[in-house]
Structure 1
Amino acid sequence: MADSSRIRARYIDPDGDRYGIPTFCWGLAPPGLATRRQLATLNLRPGGHDPVAQIMWRGHRRDRIALLYAIATAKPKRTATPRQRAALDKANTARRTCPECGHIKDYVIPGRFGRCLDCEYGPAEGTAA
């Protein structure tokens, strides 16, 4: 059941008369609808379809909205091609390569230093340079 502190009468509009789209309270959306993030966990995407409903709740200082999409009309997420994956691997390796010493690190080179932490602070104790 939804938290009663988040339920407001103004957020209940299942016909869409007030907001132009069916509106539900936090936790009270009908089954078969999901947010973009929920679709992503199911390896789905809206697939060009418009939202069919929304959830409204009171946020910190303003009303918050989450758009809902029909799971039945959602399409599978597209996967990257082998060439796209290779390009991403190359770009990520470049982000981890220190321009000063040339070593590939296990972390992204910090932008504030422009070089790896070993070059900035010296090698950590007990490690070889």
Structure 2
Amino acid sequence: MSYNGYILKISGNVFPTKYIIADTYTATPNQRTDKDDYSDADGYFHRTTLPHTRTKIEFQTPPLKTAEKDEIMDLFRNSYIHEGQRMVDVEYWDDENSDYSSGTFYLPDIEFKYKQLKEDGIIYSGIRIALIEY
């Protein structure tokens, strides 16, 4: 499959690229998970890699008006499979495989930092979004 003009879909909805600062976007696809690794008495490393891999995606948004921040948060809130865990289905561009991959991810806590307080709303300094695969 080839690149189709989007980086992320959250539960089938394209995440608007206008809310991603490109040089802050990082993806670590298919991270291996190890179990009971050890070094033997001769110093050789023994690794047991589990079949399931995890992808981690992070990026920073540009400064946001209240309505823009709400658009992003609504996209996630309306897509939660499990609200308490902030669990969402994600389709993402997998750079390792040069194809789209998908998985179930969680959205860690988001810190909101104000840039400006105005009568008609808040301007946020931008927010950091992270998605970590289960």
Same fold (TM over 0.5): no
Structure with higher strand content: 2
Query: Could you say which TM-score interval applies, normalised by the shorter chain?
Result: under 0.3
Larger-Rg structure:
1
Normalising by structure 1, we get a TM-score of 0.23
